[in-house]
Structure 1
């Protein structure tokens, strides 16, 4: 199999790249700007270019054709229009990475399948993903473009601790607060249901869809079957850090109203909703798929890696101050209502 990944070094794609590099009979190309290629396996071929420079990319792939092309970094319809111009007639399968956040919010049923309606009025990111899917489906129906749409949910790797509420510089500051025995914010009451998927497990499902004739024209979600609450998620992270969790629960609406971050989209349009994913379709298409990394085990590996690699520890003092302000405001409101 000859495959081209646009991107290939991100949270979702890096594990796929590693696993494919160890697979006999797979010739893998990555098309990216070369910013994070230093740790790529030696047998991965790099086409160094900016995918947005369409003429340059067209010259690079002029004499190439592929069994699979996968775009991991497309977020808007015009980017898929570019991909169609570049790869129509050059690939037997085009895989687009959409998002489970595109599913209906609020959900009419917390059990999510590929048939769950796509509608998210809270998050532009999700609406753009929906528009991308609609464009590709049109090309499949009218032009025979061989698409497969993949919908990941919250997928994590060893480089960043997965959380619900963090600042624009990542999640390290929350871990730092835990290590300092400071309170951390959990959205809502922490009992909503969520799914965390390790990128190693995601890669198993994704590779099973590559070159799979039954996946053409289909949308498929890839997640773990494990369901956890946000309280359990934060408790597992605290345990991995070797500290006691000091949690403060704050409503998602309040967080969205008083933050510069996009918590309206990220929380109300995504993480504040209870979701349980039904992966029956994936398992029908990829019969040997099983997500084998339990969250408390996977996050221990992530925490160990982050603690051992200072480059993963980006401090965010502005977010730290904001957390203190939110917690102080909440405690002050409680005191005021009680008449103290």
Structure 2
């Protein structure tokens, strides 16, 4: 198949690109070229900023596709642009939404694709919902061949899945554990969460490409495994050979004192216990099952990060903020004694 990906080099999309290229499909990426050096040799790149619609239209002139995958569409204006660019030129359009779009707080911790979409805490999620609604309206009214995919917390070898981190990603939390400093875990750390390795996500996504049962449908793709946040942080500390010094802090309090939009990412997502029912994606892609267990995937990621200096991005601002939060918690304890 001839497949065009908008983006194609992110945490999720790089795994999909590599897998489909290995399967022998013709893969073309439309992106700005920031990570193209890591691509398989048989992947073709059209270097373009798709926000320049006129330039994108010129570079795509005369081309048609079996599938177009949108990985970097976050607001309805971008999906509207995609419709103008690809209407009548692709047999399938797969849009990456987000499992954070599901109802928060959830009325039931078991999430299916029929769970309502509503997130009053996170604008990112509300924009994803708006994109979904626009695309499904196009499917119903104009036959635009849409497939919606909702990932949850998907990670790769370059970043450890965490609940609270700074703008430079996960390294500073790893470093704090290595240095024997307390790390912040939201709530009491016992809420259930699902982390999915990008290689597992890629296998399910690849099974949706060109799949007649996927048109007009929405699927989430996650692991079936649920772990607590305490378990996630304990796995990290154990792999590092360090003691975990956990500082448990209310999600609401963290959101109130943070400049990191924790209201959205915590209260609107990670603070909620969720268990994903993956029956639908398994029916559409027979044989799919997430294979990378959380402890094994996280340990592999830690080893990769420690071996690759480029993944170790210090974040002194976040480190100072963590110290302030830990100090405030300790002072409040003393004040109550």
**TM interval, short-chain normalised:** over 0.9
Q: Distance in 2 between matches of 1:241 and 1:124?
A: 36
Q: Distance in 2 between matches of 1:331 and 1:242?
A: 25
TM-score (norm 1): 0.98
Deviation of 1:162 after TM superposition, in Å, equals 1.1
Q: Distance in 1 between matches of 2:38 and 2:203?
A: 21
Q: Write the deviation string for residues 19-66 of structure 1: whole angstroms up to 9, x where unpaired.
A: 111113x10100001111001100001011001111111111111100
Matched, 1:135 2:137: no
Q: How many residues align?
A: 337
Alignment of 1:154-303 (within 5 A): 154-303=153-302
Q: Distance in 2 between matches of 1:161 and 1:228?
A: 14
Q: Write the deviation string for residues 130-168 of structure 1: whole angstroms up to 9, x where unpaired.
A: 000000011001110000000000000001111000111
Counterpart in the other structure of 2:2: 2
Question: For the aligned residues, what is the CA RMSD?
Answer: 0.6
Counterpart in the other structure of 1:12: 12
Deviation of 1:169 after TM superposition, in Å, equals 1.3
Q: Distance in 2 between matches of 1:223 and 1:78?
A: 27
Q: Distance in 1 between matches of 2:236 and 2:50?
A: 37
Which secondary structure state, in structure 1, belongs to the residue aligned with residue 72 of structure 2? coil
Alignment of 1:92-103 (within 5 A): 92-103=91-102
Q: Distance in 2 between matches of 1:214 and 1:6?
A: 23
Q: Which runs of 4+ in 1 moved over 2 A?
A: none
Q: Distance in 1 between matches of 2:186 and 2:117?
A: 24
Q: Distance in 2 between matches of 1:39 and 1:168?
A: 23
Q: Distance in 2 between matches of 1:241 and 1:30?
A: 37
Unaligned runs of 5+ in 2: none
Deviation of 1:241 after TM superposition, in Å, equals 1.5
Deviation of 1:90 after TM superposition, in Å, equals 0.4
Counterpart in the other structure of 1:108: 107
Unaligned runs of 5+ in 1: none
Which secondary structure state, in structure 2, belongs to the residue aligned with residue 47 of structure 1? strand
Deviation of 1:301 after TM superposition, in Å, equals 1.1
Q: Distance in 2 between matches of 1:144 and 1:271?
A: 35
Q: Distance in 1 between matches of 2:277 and 2:239?
A: 28
Which secondary structure state, in structure 1, belongs to the residue aligned with residue 336 of structure 2? helix
